[in-house]
Each structure stands twice: as C-alpha cells, then as structure tokens.
Amino acid sequence: MGSSDLREHALLLNLARVSDAVPGGRPPDPRGAPAAERAAARWAATPPPERFGDDYFQDPLGYFSALRQTRPVAPVLLPGAGGRAWMITGYEEARAALADPRLVKDPRKLRPDWEPHPVFGALTMHLLNLDPPDHTRLRRLVSKAFTPRRVTVLRPRVEQLTATLLDAAAARARARDDGVVDLLDEFAFRLPVTVICELLGVPARDQDDFRDWSAVIVADGGDDPQEWRAAATAMFGYFSRLLAAKRAEPGDDLLSALISARDSGDALTEMELTAMLFLLLVAGFETTVNLIASGTLALLSFPGELARLRADPALLPGAVEELLRFANPLNHATERFTLADLPVGDVVIPAGEWVLAVTSSANRDPARFHDPDRLDVGRDASGHLAFGHGIHYCLGAPLARLEGEVAIGSLVARFPGMSLAVPASQLRWRPSSLIHGLESLPVRLSV
C-alpha cells in the first residue's frame, strides 16, 4: 500500500491506526520536499522504534504495560502495514498530552498542500480532525443534543429497547439446546446502534450495512486499500442519499436540525455535514458496544464483583465508570501530531510525528490507580481517561454512560446464572489498534 492510501484511510475517521507511515520506514517529512535528506538525518537521530508483533491486537494491554514500565514515551512500529507513531503510556503524561494545544489534529497544518479527497475527504473533516476555531464552531452545533439533561430524556426509550432485545436474546437461548447466544451481536451492538439511529434519524433497518462498512474502515490488520475504499465509497453514497431525503422531508431528528443549521446560517459546509454524520453514527456504536460486551466479560471474569453489584444495584453508576477504566472500549485516543519538537517526560518527540495517548494504559497505571488490574466495582474510578480529556473529550459520554448503566444493570438483574460459554482465552479481539472490542461474546443465559 502506498503512503497516500494509509494517510487517507487513517484520517477517514481518525479511527484507524497510524496514518502517514511507509511500511517499515519513516513518514514523509511534513514540510515537504526537498525533504528526503533532512528526513533521513532526523530519522537516524530518533531512537529505534519498539516493534509490536502480530499478536498485538489480541493482547494490547500486555504490550502497553511493558512499554509503560520501560519506555513510557516511545516510537512504536505497529503490525500489519507497519505504521509508526509515538505512544505515551503513563497516566500523567497521557492526560497532559490530550489537553496540549501543541499536539494538533488538522492534517492541513502538517501538509498545507493536502486536499481532502472528494469522497473520503468528505467523511474526514470532522471534529476529531479539526482544531479551534473550526472545532469549536462545529462542536457547539452538536453539543446541545448530548448534554446530560437532554440525554436523560432518552432513558425510558433505552430501557424499553433493552427489555425488547433481552427478551429476544432469552427466547433465542431457550430455543437452543445449549442455551448459548452471542451477546455482542444480539444485544451489545443492537442497543447503541438503534439509539444513535433514532437520535440522528437514520433508518435502523440499514444498521447491518453500515456496521459492515465501519468494520472494514476501522480494521487495520491486513489493510487492503481496495476494501476500505469500497466501504467508504458505499458509506458516502448512503449518506448522500440520506441527506437528500432528509432535506426533502425533514424530521424531528438531529440530522434534520444540522441540515437546517447549515441551510439557514451556512454554519456547516456540505462536507462538514457529511463528516459529522459519519462521526456521530460510527462513534455512536463502535465504542458503546465494547463497553457493554467487554464490561460484561470483565464482570464474568470477576464473579465476586458481579455478585457484589447484583446485591447492591446502587453501585451501578460507579461500576460503569470502573468498567470504562478497566475494559477500555478504545485502546488509545485518536491521532495527534507535533508541528515542533515536543518534550514529553524525559524524551523529545520530534516535529512532524504522529502521537497516540494510550488511554487504556493510563487507566491501568499503578501510579494513578491502586491495584489497577483488579476490577473493583466499589472503587472511585473518576479521572479515568476512557472518554479522553481536553477539548476533544467525548461528546457522547452522557449517552454512553446511560446506555452502559441500563444495559449492564438489566443484564445483571435479569440473568443471575449468566456464564461465559467458552474459556476467556478463546475469545478473539477485533484487528483494530484503536477499537478494543471482541469479535463475539458467547454466553449461556440460564435464567
């Protein structure tokens, strides 16, 4: 794959791995030609990268915790297409990096000659690839829809959906001799995707299509440019048709509100509108599915904590924070980059480098959380970085918390005999550096 493919792919959602690397080598010099010699000299001067093996996706925390102890700020060469980024794995440094305005997001600052691709670029120019003032303007337009107060109104609907989905899962389990269902597919995915579809005004019947496209886009194991380009093109076509339909027939939904904001005050360009839809939809389900599925796995792996939560439902809000800290729906925050040399801890990250604040590692840093590899549903997990920190702090956090509480609370209360149907060591994780999510979660729902 050429370096431009990697760039477009990673920027697409800033949900893919490392953007600008050439396999096994160095990213092009951000200041452009005649950069080859300068880049080679700088490359030679920077420390050798840590190499992550092909098993990285199956055990990211193993890699991160080794790094945190030996090289808490280090260049890393990831498997697959071999992208390179600097990883920051300690809590204090990762938190500071997330709020540091010297770490920027907008790719046009790194490469002023970079033009968004007419299709992929239209999906790219969203909040996670923008800095102030564009970021501030766009975030203001959507933030009202996601305040805790606005989200509270959604609770009855989230409870109703949860009950319906769990009824269906229980019926399917009863119909099978072994009583086993894939909780991820039947429930953990269906709940957040239906909620975000309803909020945005996207037909929920199309959820399997955009789940498939998104899975290709955020995967970065065997990175085939044809595959993600086809998925992105299909998604772009789908969004264009949807936007046209909403414009012709507006509804009482967030997408129609965003369109009218654009049409009245020209606050969003067509490209920004498409990118916003892409980000809200995909971020709305690709993450919360993992809070529910990996959170359930964590509870099943610590039966004493599961019993404690079942006995005392008042622990639930705190338990969801602990599950976010412990299970980490994302391995790391999305990419940022340096425009000038940046000292972090004892190390200087050179200009033009991609930087990843490894939030999952920070959440397991013993310098911040006591006995961090133990799930403790009664601990004060506040200050965890699962939703990030700083101006890009997760917009959907109140919604994710609500869904997590209702989903986990209902599962725990309704299926006291629930158990894992395969040994935990047999579970497979998705081949994505950013998304930390199971492929499936087979459980026995004994009632």
Shortest Cβ 138–ligand HEM spacing (Å): 8
CA distance 6 to 225: 8
Which 30-49 positions form the footprint of ligand HEM (CB under 6 A)? none
Q: Binding string to ligand HEM for residues 276 to 315, with x set by CB under 6 A, is what?
A: ---xx--xx--xx--x------------------------
CA distance 83 to 157: 42
**Which amino acid is residue 287, in one-letter code?**
T
**Which amino acid is residue 258, in one-letter code?**
L
Shortest Cβ 139–ligand HEM spacing (Å): 5
Report the DSSP pairing between strands 347-349 and 342-344: antiparallel
Shortest Cβ 172–ligand HEM spacing (Å): 25
CA distance 95 to 81: 28
Shortest Cβ 54–ligand HEM spacing (Å): 25
Tokens of 224: 């085939």
Please compute, for residue 49, the number of CA atoms within 13 A of its CA located in the half-sphere on the CB side.
22
19, 89, 331, 334: which one contacts ligand HEM (CB under 6 A)?
334
Q: CB of 75 within 8 A of CB of 46?
A: yes
Shortest Cβ 245–ligand HEM spacing (Å): 21
The verdict on 443 binding ligand HEM (CB under 6 A) reads: no
Query: Residue 341, Cβ neighbours under 10 Å: how many?
Result: 12
11, 254, 344, 386: which one contacts ligand HEM (CB under 6 A)?
386
Angle between helices 316-327 and 288-301 (to 10 degrees): 100
Shortest Cβ 284–ligand HEM spacing (Å): 4
The verdict on 127 binding ligand HEM (CB under 6 A) reads: yes
Cα Rg, the chain, nearest whole Å? 22
Nearer to ligand HEM, 201 or 329 (CB): 329
Shortest Cβ 126–ligand HEM spacing (Å): 7
Q: CB of 445 within 8 A of CB of 436?
A: no
- CA-nearest of 133, 99, 131 to 14 is 131
Please compute, for residue 95, the number of CA atoms within 13 A of its CA located in the half-sphere on the CB side.
11
Residues in a beta bridge with 181: 443
Q: CB of 253 within 8 A of CB of 199?
A: yes
Q: Pick the piece of the chain touching ligand HEM (CB under 6 A) from 4-12, 51-59, 327-335, 425-433.
A: 327-335
The verdict on 392 binding ligand HEM (CB under 6 A) reads: yes
Length in residues, the chain: 447
Nearer to ligand HEM, 68 or 392 (CB): 392
Angle between helices 254-265 and 134-143 (to 10 degrees): 130
Nearer to ligand HEM, 27 or 284 (CB): 284
**Which amino acid is residue 94, in one-letter code?**
A
The verdict on 399 binding ligand HEM (CB under 6 A) reads: yes
The verdict on 381 binding ligand HEM (CB under 6 A) reads: no
Shortest Cβ 359–ligand HEM spacing (Å): 6
Nearer to ligand HEM, 232 or 324 (CB): 324
Q: Pick the piece of the chain touching ligand HEM (CB under 6 A) from 61-69, 78-86, 163-171, 388-396.
A: 388-396
Tokens of 144: 């009202």
Which 346-375 positions form the footprint of ligand HEM (CB under 6 A)? 359
Nearer to ligand HEM, 26 or 124 (CB): 124
13, 169, 273, 394: which one contacts ligand HEM (CB under 6 A)?
394
42, 108, 111, 139: which one contacts ligand HEM (CB under 6 A)?
139
Q: For residue 175, what is the enclosing H or E element?
A: helix 155-175
**Which amino acid is residue 183, in one-letter code?**
L
Which 81-120 positions form the footprint of ligand HEM (CB under 6 A)? 98
Helices (H), 328-447: 359-362, 397-414
Q: CB of 138 within 8 A of CB of 376?
A: no
Angle between helices 397-414 and 303-311 (to 10 degrees): 90
Residue number with the smallest Cβ distance to ligand HEM? 396
49, 79, 388, 431: which one contacts ligand HEM (CB under 6 A)?
388
How many residues interact with ligand HEM (rule CB under 6 A)?
Answer: 26
* Interface residue list for ligand HEM (CB under 6 A): 98, 127-128, 139, 196, 279-280, 283-284, 287-288, 291, 329-330, 333-334, 359, 386-388, 392, 394-396, 399-400
